[in-house]
Amino acid sequence: MHPVEELGGAESNPGSSHFWEDMMSDPSGWIWAFLGIVGVGGLGVAIVYAVNQWRHRRKDLASRIETERVTREVYRQDELTNPLGARERSDRR
């Protein structure tokens, strides 16, 4: 028996015209390929955006100190309004 016939006949042989006709008529493979390309493209755009934001962050000391102070205040307010959440966070440290 020919190896192609053992694997399921001409339908599973990539050299067969039936194989390509079936593949072209079934859009699921093309949809996955499209989603893969869009996903990689979206990830690339997100990385470029993040690098750009990092490069243009505030670099002067006064604004960094103010940012840290405000962040600490937000966390402090959160711990006062949500004590269970504060305990869960302190357990993870």
Give 33-79 pLDDT, tens digit per residue.
899 999 999 999 999 999 998 888 777 888 889 989 999 999 999 98
Q: How many other CB atoms are there within 10 angstroms of residue 3's CB atom? A: 7
In a domain, 34, yes or no: yes
Domain that holds residue 54: 28-92
Q: Is residue 21 part of a domain?
A: no
* 71, part of any domain: yes
Number of structural domains in the chain:
1
Average pLDDT over residues 29-34: 84
Residue 48 lies in a domain: yes
* Contacts (Cβ under 8 Å, ≥6 apart) of 64: 58
Q: Say if 9 falls within a structural domain.
A: no
Do 68 and 74 meet the contact criterion of CB atoms below 8 Å apart?
no
- The verdict on residue 66 lying in a domain is yes
Threshold 0.85, pTM exceeds: no
Q: Side-chain half-sphere of 91: how many Cα atoms within 13 Å?
A: 6
